[in-house]
Amino acid sequence: MKLAFSPASPFARKIRIVAMELGLFDKIEFITPIKAVPATENDDYARTVSPLRKIPALILNDGSVIVDSYVIAEYLDELAGGKLIPASGAKKWQVKTDHSILQGMLDALLLCRYEKLLRPEQFCWQAWYDDQFKRAWDGLARYEAHPDVLTRPLDLVQIGIVCVLGYLDFRFPDCGWRKAFPKLDAFHEKMMQRESVRTTVPPPA
Ligand SMILES: N[C@@H](CCC(=O)N[C@@H](CS)C(=O)NCC(=O)O)C(=O)O
C-alpha cells in the first residue's frame, strides 16, 4: 500500500507514527504526489485519490483509497489487531471523541497557518485567526487538566497530542505552549524517546 503524505503534514505524521508503532511501516510506500495547499490545482489527485485534495490518503494494493487520517489509523489498527483504538465500550467512544477534538485542534491551526500564508494581508481577519488559535489552545488546556490521558499505555489520543504539539513547534514556535502547559511539555519529552515520534518531527521549514 502507498501513503500520499508530506513530511510537513501533522495529519500524515500521525499515520507515520501509527504505522511504526504497529509494525506496519515497512509495508507502506510513502509518496509525495502533490503540494497540498488550498488554491493549488491538483486535478489528477482530485480525480484519482480524493476530491478534497487533502493528504494523507492511503492507496491500497487493489487501487482503492482510504482518506482521512482517523479512518486510515483505524484501518491500520485493525490490520495490526487493534492496539491503539479500544475495540468497544466506553473507552472506545472516549478515544474517538478525544481524537475528534485533537483533529479539530489541528484543523484550527491549519486554518491559522493558511490565513497568514495564503490570504492577502489586507483581507486577513485577526479576530477570526485569534478565535481559531484559541480553540487549539483551549484543547491543550483540556489535556493539561487531564494528565491521566498522558500516562496511560500508548493510544491514538496520545499520538494525536504529540502531532498537535509538534505542529505548534513547527509553525508557531513562539506561542509558548511549553511554559503554559508543563505537563504536556513533560509528556512530549517522554514521547520523543520513541523512535516513531523522534524520526517524524517535521523538517525545518
Ligand atoms: N481531516 C483530514 C485533514 C487533512 C488535511 O487537512 N491535510 C492538509 C495538509 S496537513 C491538506 O491536505 N491541506 C490541503 C488543502 O486543504 O487544500 C485528515 O485527518 O486527514
- With 90 as the cut, is the pLDDT of residue 34 above it? no
Q: Cα separation of 198 and 192, whole Å?
A: 5
Query: Quick one: which of 152, 143, 187, 156 has its CA closest to 93?
Result: 156
Residue of the nearest CA to atom 11 in ligand 1? 54
pLDDT digits (tens, 9 = 90+) for 84-93: 999 999 999 9
Q: What is the pTM of this model?
A: 0.97
Rg of the chain over Cα atoms, rounded to whole angstroms, equals 17
Per-residue H/E/C for 130-194: HHHHHHHHHHHHHHHCCCHHHHCCCCHHHHHHHHHHHHHHHHCCCCCHHHHCHHHHHHHHHHCCC
Ligand 1 nearest atom to the CA of residue 56, by list position: 20
Residues 47, 78: Cα–Cα separation, whole Å:
28
Q: Which pLDDT band, with edges at 50, 70 and 90, does 8 fall under?
A: very high
Cα torsion 187, 188, 189, 194: sign: positive
Q: How confident is the model at residue 42 (pLDDT cuts 50, 70, 90)?
A: very high
Residues forming beta bridges with residue 138, ordered by sequence position: none
Question: Which structural domains are found in the chain, ordered by start?
Answer: 2-79 (3.40.30.10), 89-198 (1.20.1050.10)
Ligand 1, atom nearest to 70 Cα: 19
CA distances (Å), 129 to each of 54, 99, 117, 167, 199, in order?
21, 23, 12, 16, 31
> Distance, CA 192 to ligand 1 centroid (Å)?
24
Whether residue 205 has pLDDT greater than 80: no
Q: Is-contact 45 54, C-beta < 8 A?
A: no
pLDDT at residue 124 greater than cutoff 90:
yes
Closest C-alpha residue for ligand 1 atom 17: 38
Q: How confident is the model at residue 26 (pLDDT cuts 50, 70, 90)?
A: very high
For position 197, what pLDDT does the model report? Answer: 98
CA of 107 to the centre of ligand 1 (A): 8
Which residues, at least 6 apart from 43, have a Cβ–Cβ distance to it below 8 Å? none
What is the widest separation between alpha-carbon atoms in the chain?
Answer: 51
Per the structure block, which three cell numbers stand in for 15? 499515520
pLDDT band at 50 (very low <50, low <70, confident <90, very high): very high
Distance from the CA of 124 to the center of ligand 1, in angstroms?
21
**pLDDT of 204 over the 90 cut:** no
In ligand 1, which atom is closest to the CA atom of 54? 12
Q: Is the pLDDT at 166 greater than 80, yes or no?
A: yes
Mean confidence (pLDDT) of the chain: 96
Across the strands, what pairs with 41?
A: none
